[in-house]
Structure 1
């Protein structure tokens, strides 16, 4: 996700103090998104009606409808935070996206809790996800390289992944462990790309768009790390 505002002051052209303040705001907003996700998830999982409905939406073509709706919300949220400078509207779009993430995670988390009879597996996957997120992000800050060149590869990879997901849903075959591993690699690449944008592409007031991009990549990684953990049991 790249900023489209014109005449913006690029972060890379700013002072060290401005950059540090921007990084703090961005990661604080990512952390805020995670906390809001946990809150939304807790409330959604309290409702048997919502859980049963979301589980029913994982069956066959309904899952494709759910994914399509999620992608529309994602596109709307990303375009909104990029096209407006109004922070209130940006926050509303960010919150909407976090809610959409919480909703689509309901069936996966419900299944994980049901089969393990605890949240231990989810906590373990969350710890691994955060460790990977921090490690991958650190690569950009340490090397200071621009990783925008991987955008084409990520785009192709995600299109291939979507094709496999659609095929698996329509024809009823399990994509398996190695697909989840491959998606973790794609999610890692996305974190690398988004962090690179954070350092090299964004303007000094773009901490909400930057936060949304990082949060989206973090949640994608969490989804497939959790899938890998669940496959062990």
Structure 2
């Protein structure tokens, strides 16, 4: 997620301690709210057979690529709503839109986890959640303790995600499994994205962009959760 240059308002790293802490508190409060909303929406989706059936019907070949393409378009639109508008209601609408889109695209993966777990789906989901939050917390701590600017990761992440997207497209078109090591590589990319997004809290956002900041963190967190869950579902 890209931030826009702001020539009027200072970046968070340039604010006094009180204002900076207030920004962090708002950002992570919104991140926690987004995670809670994701859980609620996901639970609701699994209560509606038509939605589950629709999501599962889109998991193969061209349909999966169309779903991913739609998700990317929604992601881009939600980010613009959360970042570029001066209307706070639009900021929240963008965040909610993105959370709902994430909940929908997660349906097939969670369904697979439920099938593979054979009754122990909640254990796998809990394990994936704990591992994800632990890694997320550790990476965030690295940024805040070192105060290092990880913006140099942008080009590396861009190349990595383009390569990953190419492999996903090839896998969908030619019907081959990308395998365990692809998921491991994506965990590494997601970890780099968390470092980058957390660094942006200090170096790229201004104090009014906490909703956009929480959306960026949520996107990286859910990417990490997706591939950790994918790895655990293979066991």
**TM range, smaller chain:** over 0.9
> Which residue matches 1:164?
167
Counterpart-to-counterpart distance in 2, 1:115 and 1:228: 12
The counterpart of 1:140, out of the listed 140, 143, 149, is 143
Once structures 1 and 2 are overlaid, which stretch shifts more, 24-33 or 50-59? 50-59
Alignment of 1:41-190 (within 5 A): 41-116=42-117, 117-118=119-120, 119-190=122-193
Q: What per-residue deviation string (whole Å, max 9, x for no partner) do you get for residues 74-121 of structure 1? A: 000111212112111100111000000000001111121133123110
Number of equivalent positions: 232
Contact in 1 for aligned 2:171/2:178 (Cα 8 Å):
yes
Contact in 1 for aligned 2:112/2:233 (Cα 8 Å):
no
Counterpart-to-counterpart distance in 1, 2:167 and 2:101: 22
> CA-atom RMSD, angstroms?
0.9
**Structure 1 unaligned blocks of 5 or more:** none
> Which residue matches 2:208?
205
Q: What per-residue deviation string (whole Å, max 9, x for no partner) do you get for residues 199-232 of structure 1? A: 1111011101100000000000000000010111
Counterpart-to-counterpart distance in 2, 1:32 and 1:226: 21
Shift of 1:10: 1.6
Contact in 2 for aligned 1:2/1:202 (Cα 8 Å):
no
Counterpart-to-counterpart distance in 2, 1:11 and 1:34: 24
Contact in 1 for aligned 2:81/2:93 (Cα 8 Å):
no
What secondary structure sits across from 2:149 in the alignment?
Answer: coil
Shift of 1:51: 1.1
Counterpart-to-counterpart distance in 1, 2:33 and 2:7: 28
Alignment of 1:189-200 (within 5 A): 189-200=192-203
User: Does the alignment pair 1:223 with 2:223?
Assistant: no
Shift of 1:49: 1.6
Counterpart-to-counterpart distance in 2, 1:205 and 1:60: 42
TM-score by length of 2: 0.97
Counterpart-to-counterpart distance in 2, 1:81 and 1:94: 7
Shift of 1:2: 3.3
> Which residue matches 1:2?
2
Counterpart-to-counterpart distance in 1, 2:101 and 2:132: 20
Counterpart-to-counterpart distance in 2, 1:170 and 1:189: 28
> Which residue matches 2:36?
35
Counterpart-to-counterpart distance in 2, 1:48 and 1:114: 16
Contact in 2 for aligned 1:187/1:220 (Cα 8 Å):
yes
